[in-house]
Structure 1
Amino acid sequence: GKGESGINIFTIEQILSLAGESDYTNLLREKLSQTDAGINYAEYLIAETGSAVVVNTQSEPSYLSLLPEISIIVSKSNRVVKDMSEALNRLRTENLFDSSGCITFITGPSRTADIEKVLITGVHGPKKLYVIVINF
C-alpha cells in the first residue's frame, strides 16, 4: 500500500495473502514493478568485483532486486569475502545452493553494448543500487 510519504510499500507476506498459489508469481511481478525500491539481504559481498550475493527464496525472490527502480542491499561487514571463488566455496559450505532456487550476483546497473557497440547502462533491472554494510 501507500506509506505516509506516498511511497509504495508491500511486504512479500502481503502479496502472498492477496494471491492464491497460482497467481503468486504474476501478482508479485506486478506489485514489485510498481514498488519504488526493493530491499535484499546479501549473504556475501565480494570485494574484488564489488558484487552482492543474494540467495533467493520465496520470501526474498529474485524479482525483489530486479524489478524496482532502486535496489537496496543490506549485509554485515563480516560477510565480505575476497573474490568469487571464496563466495562460491562459502555458499557450498553453508549449503546455500540447496536452499535456493536462484542465487543472484548483483554488481550494479545492467550494461550492454549490443546495439552498434555503444555502451548503454540501466536497460534492465534497477537504475540505482545502494549497499548498506552493518558492522557486526
Structure 2
Amino acid sequence: MQPTGRSYEITKDDAAWREQLSAKEFHVLREAGTEAPFVGEYTDTTTEGVYACRACGAELFRSDHKFSSHCGWPSFYSPLAQDRVEYIEDVTLGMKRVEVRCGTCGSHLGHVFEGEGYDTPTDQRYCINSISLTLQPKA
C-alpha cells in the first residue's frame, strides 16, 4: 500500500497483522488487494447493524446507508462520519480512483466513486470489500 505519512490510532507491523488476519484478509486489508466480485459475505446482506473494520473494529458504515448497486461488492452511499475513513488517490491499473482506508488503522477497504447516477443522497458509491468488514447486527 502507498504510505500516507499519517499516524494512525492503531498501528502494527506486518508480522502482527499476519498473526491476526487470514492470508486473504491480509492481502486485501494490508496490501490493497481486491476480493472477487459477487463472492463476499456482505454483498447482498440486508441485516440491520453497523459495519466495522475487520482489522481494528472501528465502526465505519451503517446498514441504512447500504444499497444494492449490483456491482459485486457491498455498496454504501456514506460512511458513519468523514473522519472514519481516509481517502487516497489511486492510479494503479491504469485508471484514476479514490481509495478508501480505515481512518483508525489505515487498512484498505475499497474505493469510492461519484457521478454514476445511483439514486442515493450523495451520488457516491463506496465500493467496499466484504472481507474488509465485520457486521455487528442491531440488537
TM norm. shorter chain > 0.5: no
Return the TM-score normalized by structure 1. 0.30
Return the TM-score normalized by structure 2. 0.30
The answer to which structure has the higher helix fraction is 1
